Amino acid sequence: MGKPTGFMEYQRCENKRRPPLERIRDWEDIYLPVEGEQRLQQGARCMNCGVPFCQAGVIFEGKQLGCPLHNLIPEWNDMLMDGNYGHALARLLKTNNFPEFTGRVCPAFCEQACTCGLYDEPITVHDNERSIIEYAFSHGMMKPRFTKNVSGKNVVVVGSGPAGLAVADQLNHRGHSVTVIEKHDRAGGILAYGIPNMKLPKELVQRRIDLMTDEGVTFVTGLDASDPAIAQRLIREFDAVVLCCGAEQPRDVGVDTTGVQGVYYAMDFLHAAVDRQQFGIKTNIPDAAGKQVVVIGTGNTASDCVATCIRQGCKSVIQLVRRGREDYLDPNGELPQDYAQEEAQAVFGEDPRVFRQSVAKLEADESGQLRGITTRDGQLYPCELLIAATGFSGCRADVCEAFGVKREKTVKTETGRYRTSIPHIFTAGDMHRGQSLVVHAIAEGRAAAIEVDRFLMGYTNLI
């Protein structure tokens, strides 16, 4: 513990959001980072606890306690306090392949478990992590790393989301030849297409892809492995196959949408928005400009849809929440707002959430264009664009069928294992555990890489 009184001397100072009415005019990062001496002070607040719950990464009473990656948080906070970014980076990368992603989109289970937060505010672990990795990139510290030990084994990873990238990164640094297959035009999976640019700038995703390419990972885009011929070729030509295709089967909207135009699932809408805004690609899915929008759901994806619609210039937006308002109150009895709800409040004058509501019926005109929705209590809301952020029921069946692996909602494996019913085919991420978070996907990828390495080599030194 470099500064025993740090947590008493310094107050929590987290990265602040840009003013709502300013940030909705662009697609740039919504946060203003805290740097310099003030950032070092945030590292000094860490108490270096005898039992650091922040890095526990266990499930306790059904809830995540601490970092799923077991990040060595007190160690790199201590090094950050001293301004020793080199050593802080080394400790951070020991457990986390992609801090630039988790430092932006992770819900910070570490901070929820922080001992300092019992009587004061928790350490800004999330922001400190982002600061370390961005300092490293901007100061030329993130150089390609190569291993001298080449195994002669080749592995194909199907899917380039966070789980697939973690598997590839781990196995590549172990000395295996790794190829990543991606069905879309760009690598990155949900990082590239499912998270809006203002939360995760796409140049940062490409920056990581470029670094992995320099380190020897081969990326093949525009190749859909759900084609049985492609799948069988991959099975024949590679020593191991790792399926990391996510949980892409959306849950049903809950009402009959037959013949109605203007109803879309959240990930399809967000994907189209990223294609349009970031890559200049035309899409058949319309934007929200001038439309009255209803978003179903209350998670991060629903919020991303609300924020995206505001930036596209929607006429109005409401967010239907199935549960009651009381379920979302903080310990002080206040209703917290995330970045999207804060923006809606600033633009339209009220929080977009309507609690204890769900869609019972769609109202369309003679041409089939959506004009409104009726809720289960009979309330009619005008609506020209309905976006369902209702989550996912499991992985796609076609990929599993193409590779011949067993599935229920997710790919079947032994409990706690990653190998499928076919010995040299493995799985990880949402395809394995179901819909989850980026940090869980990275943890899954790292764990699966250990099992793949042991299968290929008879032992493993990965951790």
Same domain, 108 and 200: no
pLDDT in tens, 181-203: 999 999 999 999 999 999 999 99
pLDDT digits (tens, 9 = 90+) for 394-435: 898 999 999 999 999 999 999 999 999 999 999 999 999 999
Question: Where does the pLDDT of residue 382 fall: very low under 50, low under 70, confident under 90, or very high at 90 and above?
Answer: very high
Task: Specify the pLDDT at position 1.
Answer: 62
CATH number at residue 361: 3.50.50.60
Neighbouring residues of 224: CB distance < 8 A, sequence distance ≥ 6: 183, 230
The answer to whether position 49 is within a domain reads yes
The percentage of the chain sitting over the pLDDT mark of 90, rounded to a whole number, equals 92
In a domain, 281, yes or no: yes
Instruction: Read off the pLDDT of each residue in 439-460 and give the average, rounded to a whole number.
Output: 98
Q: Is 375 in the same domain as 397? A: no
Q: Mark whether 301 and 403 lie in a shared domain.
A: no
Q: Which domain holds residue 369?
A: 263-390
Structure confidence at residue 254 (pLDDT)? 86
Tens of pLDDT, residue by residue over 85-131, are: 999 999 999 999 999 999 999 999 999 999 999 999 999 999 999 99
Residue 204, pLDDT score = 98
pLDDT in tens, 25-50: 999 999 999 999 999 999 999 999 98
CA atoms of 66 and 332, how far apart (whole Å): 23
Report residue 237: phi and psi, to 5°: -90, -15
> Is residue 92 located within the same domain as residue 163?
no
302 shares a domain with 272? yes
For residues 217 and 291, membership in a common domain is answered with no
- Taking 90 as the threshold, does the pLDDT of residue 393 lie above it? no
Residues 124 and 159 in one domain: no
Q: Are 276 and 207 members of one domain?
A: no
Calpha distance 309→289 (Å, rounded): 7
Out of 88, 111, 138, a domain closes at: 138
Lowest mean pLDDT among 1-5, 199-203, 234-238, 260-264: 1-5
- Do 108 and 16 fall into the same domain? yes
pLDDT of residue 62: 85
Q: Work out the average pLDDT over 146-162.
A: 96
Do both 279 and 381 map to the same domain? Answer: yes
CB count within 10 Å of CB 354 equals 15
**Which of 86, 114, 138 finishes a domain?**
138
Q: Residue 365 pLDDT more than 90?
A: yes
Q: What is the CATH number of the domain that holds 37?
A: 1.10.1060.10
Q: Residues 210-230: what's their mean pLDDT?
A: 97
Last residue of a domain, one of 390, 407, 422: 390
Q: Rounded to two decimals, what is the model's pTM?
A: 0.96
Inside any domain, residue 145: no
Residue 257 within any structural domain of the chain: no
101 domain-assigned: yes
Query: In total, how many domains does the chain have?
Result: 3
d(Cα 69, Cα 421) in Å, to the nearest integer?
A: 27
Q: Find the mean pLDDT for residues 237-254.
A: 94
Produce one character per residue of 177-197: b if its CB has 16 or more CB atoms within 10 Å, e if not: bbbbbbbbebbbbbbbbbbbb
Same domain, 270 and 313: yes
Q: Is residue 256 part of a domain?
A: no
Distance in angstroms (rounded) separating the CA atoms of residues 90 and 92: 5
Burial class (CB in 10 A: 0-12, 13-18, 19+), 424: middle
Please tell me the predicted confidence (pLDDT) of residue 261.
Answer: 96
DSSP bridge pairs for 427:
243
Q: Rounded to an integer, what is the distance from CA 154 to the centroid of its chain?
A: 28
Angle ∠(327,330,108) on CA atoms, nearest 5? 100
For residue 3, name the pLDDT band (cuts at 50, 70, 90).
confident
- Assigned domain for 437 exists: yes
Q: Above 70 in pLDDT, residue 2? A: no
Residue 357 in contact with residue 379, Cβ under 8 Å?
yes
| 146 in a structural domain | no
Residues 377 and 423 in one domain: no
Q: How many CA atoms lie within 13 A of 127 on its CB side?
A: 21
